[in-house]
């Protein structure tokens, strides 16, 4: 851990379909934290679906909404923040999360991801002829960023409840090691 980093929140990063929202909700309830799901919050505030924002305004417009939300979250405390899969790829976003959150990456294999997303149609980036290849490409591009998390958790063989318990355990250890930094007052 970087000395001096406060952990007021937990941020979940990772690829589409790894279970950030589900695991995030469970971890939030174990900690008595509030869940913030960035995709959901953007949808609530704009009154539009993520897929519609991508289709009508383009991906850069969606990324700008994500980045604005990331800045706003710098003052959050007691939150589990489940991020959209591409959010940490925009320059500055991961650094911003690292300033206040214990960053956890949920990691799954290409095959697991594909099995989880194959019957879903709300993710514009995977609406291609060869989604497996697309997942592989994007994962390769994103993994150097995802790997910068404080805690990397493989979810291929873990249930959401097990993942949530692991995250809470790791978070408690990290905050117990530096109670003076655990600024949850
Ligand atoms: C995206 C992931 C999605 C959503 C958007 C773009 C990505 O969120 O933000 O479709 O770039 O990986 P989930 O990771 O919750 O599916």
Element (H, E) at 98: helix 93-98
Q: Is residue 175 part of a domain?
A: no
Residue 84 in contact with ligand 1 by CB distance below 6 A: yes
Mean pLDDT of the chain: 93
Q: Could you tell me if the CB of 125 is within 6 A of ligand 1? A: yes
pLDDT of 6 reads: 79
What pLDDT does 23 receive? 98
Structure confidence at residue 5 (pLDDT): 74
| CB 23 near ligand 1, within 6 Å | no
Nearest to 163 by CA among 26, 2, 7: 26
Q: How far is the CA of 173 from the centre of ligand 1 (A)?
A: 29
Looking at the domain assignment, is residue 150 inside a domain? yes
Domain that holds residue 34: 9-169
Q: Per-residue pLDDT tens, the chain, 185 aa: give them.
A: 445 577 999 999 999 999 999 999 999 999 999 999 999 999 999 999 999 999 999 999 999 999 999 999 999 999 999 999 999 999 999 999 999 999 999 999 999 999 999 988 889 898 899 999 999 999 999 999 999 999 999 999 999 999 999 999 999 999 987 666 555 54
Within a domain: 158: yes
Alpha-carbon separation of residue 174 from 2, 31, 87, 89, 100 (angstroms): 11, 14, 24, 25, 13
Ramachandran angles phi, psi of 12, nearest 5°: -100, 125
Which residues sit opposite 154 in a β-bridge? 107
Per the domain annotation, does 178 fall within a domain?
Answer: no
Task: List, in sequence order, every beta strand (DSSP E) within the chain.
Answer: 9-14, 34-37, 79-82, 101-107, 151-154
The token pair at 12 is 């979940």
Q: Measured from the CB, is residue 124 less than 6 Å from ligand 1?
A: yes
Task: Give me the pLDDT at residue 3, please.
Answer: 54
- Check residue 181 and give its pLDDT: 58
Distance (Å, whole) CA 101 – CA 94: 10
Q: Looking at ligand 1, which residue's alpha carbon is closest to its atom 4?
A: 84
Number of domains comprising the chain: 1
The CATH code of the domain that includes 87 is 3.40.50.300
Residue 91 in any domain: the answer is yes
Residue 149 lies in a domain: yes
Mutate which of 21, 125, 138 for ligand 1 pocket (most atoms within 8 A of beta carbon): 125
**Relative to the CA of 21, which ligand 1 atom is closest?**
15
pLDDT digits (tens, 9 = 90+) for 105-132: 999 999 999 999 998 888 989 889 999 9
Torsion of CA 8, 182, 161, 81, to 10 degrees: 10
* 76: in domain: yes
Query: Which position has the token pair 């990324």?
Result: 63
Residue 81 lies in a domain: yes
Cα separations (Å) of 153 from 73, 115, 150? 23, 19, 10
**Predicted pLDDT at 120:** 87
Q: What is the DSSP letter of 18?
A: S
In ligand 1, the atom with minimum distance to the C-alpha of 89 is 11
């Amino acid at each position: 851990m970087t000395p001096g980093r406060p952990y007021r929140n937990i941020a979940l990063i990772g690829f589409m379909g790894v279970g950030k929202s589900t695991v995030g909700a469970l971890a939030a309830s174990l900690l008595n934290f509030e869940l913030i799901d960035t995709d959901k919050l953007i949808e609530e505030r704009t009154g539009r679906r993520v897929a519609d924002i991508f289709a009508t305004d383009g991906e850069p417009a969606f990324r700008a909404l994500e980045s604005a939300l990331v800045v706003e979250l710098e003052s959050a405390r007691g939150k589990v923040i489940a991020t959209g899969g591409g959010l940490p790829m925009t320059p500055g976003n991961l650094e911003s999360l690292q300033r206040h959150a214990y960053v956890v990456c949920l990691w799954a294999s290409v095959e697991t991801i594909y099995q989880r997303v194959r019957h879903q149609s709300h993710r514009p980036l995977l609406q291609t002829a060869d989604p497996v290849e697309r997942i592989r490409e994007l994962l390769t591009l994103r993994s150097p960023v995802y790997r910068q998390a404080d805690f990397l958790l493989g979810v291929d063989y873990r249930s959401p409840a097990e993942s949530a318990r692991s995250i809470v355990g790791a978070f408690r250890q990290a905050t117990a090691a530096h109670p003076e930094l655990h600024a949850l007052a």
